Amino acid sequence: MNMLYERRISSPLGELHVVASNEAIVGVYLPGHKGAPVILARDGREHPVLGEATRQLEEYFAGQRQFFMLPLDPRGSDFQREVWRALLEIRFGETRSYAELARVLGRPQAARAVGAANAKNPISIIVPCHRVIAGDGALTGYAGGIAAKRWLLSHEQDRHAPGPTIS
């Protein structure tokens, strides 16, 4: 069994719960995150991946980082992982609708399934599910809350850069 490690870090959105395996980030949860699992993990103060994630998240919140370069291992179905990989292609400061994301995945009728997978994204902020909005531009469906989604989108406004990949 792969050991999990955790670190809590301060952010403008409140305390984030960041979780890593031995090799990669497996979760970033915002305060009050809907559907966040109960995770039994060891203290990750000395964990190198958590240390790097903390540094990069702090840079992001300070406006000094537009994309993350971290090993990621979100746990989910093949379809969920496909959706989460597609989220990484949405550039900083940009948004996509659920329908647009479904079309990019070659599944134009799967907007609801894309939305459901997006809602299960375990690595908030780093895998930018906050960048997916309703077709009419409304801010909907963010596990960290609509206020957090609004803050993140405002924080990213008018900036662009490529993102990381999930293997």
HEC profile of 54-121: HHHHHHHHCCCCCCCCCCECCCCCHHHHHHHHHHCCCCCCCCEEHHHHHHHCCCCCCHHHHHHHHHCC
Strand partners for 5? 20, 42
pLDDT of res. 132: 94
Q: Find where tokens 């093949």 sit.
A: 78
Q: Which residues contact 88 (CB under 8 A, 6 or more apart)?
A: 127, 128, 163, 164, 165, 166
As a whole number, the mean pLDDT across the chain is 88
Residue 43 has pLDDT above 60, yes or no: yes
| Dihedral (Cα; 119, 125, 129, 130), 10-degree rounding | 100
Q: Higher pLDDT residue, 166 or 154?
A: 154
Catalytic residue among 16, 19, 83, 129: 129
Mean pLDDT, residues 81-102 taken together = 94
**If pLDDT is split at 50, 70 and 90, which confidence band does 1 have?**
very low
Side chain identity, residue 139: L
Task: Check if 158 is active-site.
Answer: no
Per-residue pLDDT, averaged over 76-93, amounts to 95
What is the model's pTM? 0.88
> Minimal CA–CA distance to 127: which of 84, 63, 75, 65?
84
| Range with lowest mean pLDDT among 57-66, 73-82, 89-98, 130-139 | 130-139
